[in-house]
Structure formats: C-alpha cells, structure tokens
Chains A and B, each alone.
Chain A
Amino acid sequence: MTLHPILAALRRHKAGVVLIALQIALTLAIVCNAIFIIGQRIQRIQRPTGMDESNLFLITQLWVGAPTGDDQASTDKLDSMLRTDLATLRNLPDVESATTMNTIPLINSSWTNGVNLKPNQKHSTAHAAFYFGDEQMMNTMKVQLAAGRAFTSADIQHRGMRAADKPPIIIVTQALADKLFPSGNAVGKSVYLADNTTPSTIVGVVKRLQVSSADNWTNDFTWYSVLEPVRLNSNFSRYLVRAKPGRMQSAMKEARKALFAANPMRVIDDSAEHNSIKSFADIRARAYRADRGMAILMGVICVILLGVTGAGIVGLTSFWVGQRHKQIGVRRALGARKVDILRYFQTENLLIAGVGAIAGIILAVGLNLWLMHRFEMDRMPVLYVLAGVAVVLALGQAAVFAPARRAANVPPVVATRTV
C-alpha cells in the first residue's frame, strides 16, 4: 500500500490532524516525565538501609525531672538511668538484642558533620551522618562488617549530648571509606571530625548504612555514615530493639510496661499520632510517604492522560470514518478488501502518532531539562522516552482499531447510494 492516498486525505483535515498530533506529543512529553518520576520514587522507596529491617523497633522516651546539664554529675546520673533501661530491655524474654542510639536511619533526626583528612581543613572532604551507640549497636542493626572490627565493650565511652566530640576510634561505611581513601584500605587510617585537631582512627568498615534522614538535603551523602562508640547522655533516649523472630508485637507491648515499671517518671506516648514505640516498617513507610504519594499521583495523572488521549483518537477517527463513508464504499466496490480498509486507517493513525511522537520526544526532553533546571530533577534516561513512544504508538493503534473495523464493515453497496 502506498502512502500517497493517505497523505492526500490528511491534507484535507489539516486542523484535526495537527490537533491529534499535538495531543499525542503533549501526552508523550508528560507521560514519560511522569513515569520517570514514578521510577525514581520507587527506586528511592525500595533502597535498603543496610540494616536487617525485620523484627526491629524503636523506642523514644523522655525522663521527667532528669538533669539537663552537661556536667559530670548530671551525665553520670543520666548514664546510669540509660544503662538501667538497657538492662531492662535486654532481660525481656522476647528481645534478642537492644542498644541505645542517638538516631537511626530514616527517622529524620540527624547529627551531621564534616569529615576531614587534615586537621583544621577549611572545606570538609566529606559530609556524613553520625550514629552514637554502644557495643550492641552493630549486631542489633545487623549491619555487615566489610573490613576491620566491630566495637567491643571496652571501646564504649559516654558523654553529654553537647560535649565536645573527639572519639579516638570510629567505624565508617564503605561508601564513605571509598570517598575518603579512594585507593582503599581505610582501616587503620586517621581522619579529623569537623574542626577537631585530634585524629580519630578508623577501626572498621561496614558495607552499607543509610543516613538518618531520607529528605532531599541528604541526597549528596545518603550512604556516608560514621559510627562512634559513645553512649550519648541527655534527658531523652532512643532504644533500638531487635525482637526474636515473630515476637515483635509482644516485645513492643512488654517493653513499654517494663520501662514504666522500672521508672514511671518518663514520657512514652502511645497516642496514634505520636507513638513513641514504632516498628521499623512504620518508620520506613512514614519516611517515604511523600515519595509514595508523588508516585501514586503521577500514576493517576498518567492513566487519566492516556485515557483522554485514547478516547480522543477514537472520537476523531470515528468522525472521519463517518465522513468518508461513501468513499470507503467506493473503494470496496472497486475491489478493496476489508483488510485494506482496516490497514488504511491503522496506517493513517501510525503516521499521525509517529509525527506526534517525534514532536513529543523533543517536548519530553525539553520538559525534563526545564524540570532539572527549576526543580533539581535528574536527567531522564533515553529508555523512558523510548518506552513513552512505544506506549503512545500502541495507544494509537488500540484506539483506532474499533473505528477502523467499523469502516472495514462498510458494505460496497454504499457506493451506489447518493448521500
């Protein structure tokens, strides 16, 4: 079949053709950017923190009337309260291990600082999130050691939350180790934290541990974490608890009771909005709620968009079929088979959608560039554009099928009738 008659016919409906092509172009531009956003959000939501996240829960509590100062007496008092709580938790039958940490991944309460290779460096070599905890920190999180050693109880110090931070030893993530020492072998090397002049020695490297927030401001250092062997003392504390498999619900209930029994002068909220005892699954869902919402919203918009465009093609093609009723009859009378008529409309649609798709590719890339400029979005891989092209072409063919078949069913006898 030659394209000539199709082109000749299209020339008679210029405006309609341009409108459909424009619609397809816009649809393609929006759909592939939306799908790109969806893909990125899904990737974010699914990335593992580096911990074994099942059977893990977090307790945040506040002591009432506890000292808030950073002097030695207050710090010692707070530390003994902290150790009492840890012992209480570790004694529970459903608890496998428990540790105290200043923060954990994804809860959006962060301690970040620069890590330097030289003392008093003006610009930090890397920016990282800091986790303070005791010797149970790593086996409660179940992060994997890649090199060196874990902290032992002999390493653990304690200090007030706002006291100077000068740890003799630290553990870093593989990503941070690679950034600081690209040639490898970070274990045994020294780094300087922020404006410290005393060095801290790296004794171990963990494979992966996400920073404490999933918000955009951490995008530059998502995997740069530092672990310090320090119990931080303040009037509030966080306990990360690993329950025995399948016992998490009861462990969460028991923990609350046991802590209140040990010392009632504390705040452990249990309201729906501010539950102080949260499973890590809840923490993860909350951390990525906005991303999930954005993905769903983009999905809904894509579905509406494709639906509208598909329906528009059906509508306009049906109109054209009605308009060319007589010509179709003439072609059939002159020997065209049903399949020829079907192919005619399908090819016509492919032509229009093809032109629309080419314009759409340009629009899609333009839109992506603009979003990158205005909203710091990432560059869209070509794959998304190609997938978008495939989707709109398929949509065009699917939408044109019903009206085209109706056209194919026009009987040749129509040619003999007037009007």
Chain B
Amino acid sequence: MTDTPIAVTMDGHVIEAAPGASLIQAWMSAGLPLTENVGCMGQGVCGACRVLVRRQGERIAQAALACETRAEAGMQVSFVDHFSARRTHAYDLASMTDSWAALGAIDAVFPEAKSCRHCGGCDAACPKGIEVQKAVILAVEGRALAAGALFDHCIMCNLCVAACPEHIAPAHLGQFLRRMGASLSLRPGDLVLRLAEIEAGRQTIDLDAPQP
C-alpha cells in the first residue's frame, strides 16, 4: 500500500484521503464540520452516515454508509438526509393481544404494501443488501416471521422509505413484523420461571454477602 493520498469529492469539497481511510474519516481529517450524518463512527450499525457514492467510470450512484466505505480515487460522494416516513403507520403493540388478529393487522397498518410495483427501488437503496422487495411481498402474503427475518440487518437508515414510490415504508413494516413476532410468540421458559420465583419472593438478595 502506498502513502499517496486519494482524491475524492464529498459534498462539493475535493478531499485528499489517506489510503485505507473510510469516507467519514476522510471528511473528518479534511477538517470539515461533522455535526450530523454521524453516530457509531465505524461499526455500521446506526445508519446515520448515509451517502450516495458514484465511482469513477460508473454512471449510477449507489447508497452506502460512509463509515463502511473506503475512499477510492475519483469517487463522488454526497451525504443523504434522514427521511421520515410520509405518514406514521400507527399501531399499539400492547393492545395486540389476540394473535389470531395479528396477520390481519399487517394490511390494516400497512395498506400500501399490497400496491408494491416491484420497481426494486428499495433493494437498490439498501446499503445492507437486504431483499426489501421480497420481504414486502412476503408480508402481503401474511408470512410475517419470514418477512421480518429478512430485515435482520436493518439499521433503520430509512433509505428504502425514501425510495418507495408507494410510500410503503418498508423499514417500518419490517420492524412491525419483527416486534409483533417477538411480543406475541417469544416466551422463554427459564425467564418465565425466574420471574415467577422473584414474584413469589424466592430470589432475595443478602446485601451484606460477600465481603472483600
């Protein structure tokens, strides 16, 4: 690896990046202010550092995370805002106590999902490579857990929300399915037993034991 700096253009600034640097590190070491589009700073989990990246010789810009993408010569990069869903898809998990009604709730809360036009915009927008469109189709078919599982790596960057022309809000749909699945059907036996012991007063703590 050489030490020759790499020239990239970020939000209109021509930046010299150190070889191996991520885009967000390149931006910071150029001394540019970083007060948004940043969070976990390298772990790729918070979804804040959304960027569009066009590599040299390519025509199409790709969505990516600036902390996970290394600077390459001639890259053109722009930060992307956080887009909220156009409307809130409201539901109250605590009142969803009848699991027979759960599948019906998918269409009641996310009626737009059945209008998916299979444009693939959500898939192209996802920086994590999630099969968003497939998940939406599975959700419409009522396959709640399978659809929710496809959102396992979702970081709630909301780029699929911005990309969808039908305002399906796929990331929120994914969270709805996942949350519904856990809250309605995850009942670990050891946890339930321990909670019962605590409630029965059979798990008290002796504050004075032990001593150093």
- Tell whether A and B belong to one assembly: no
Could you tell me which B residues sit within 8 Å of A by CB distance?
A: none
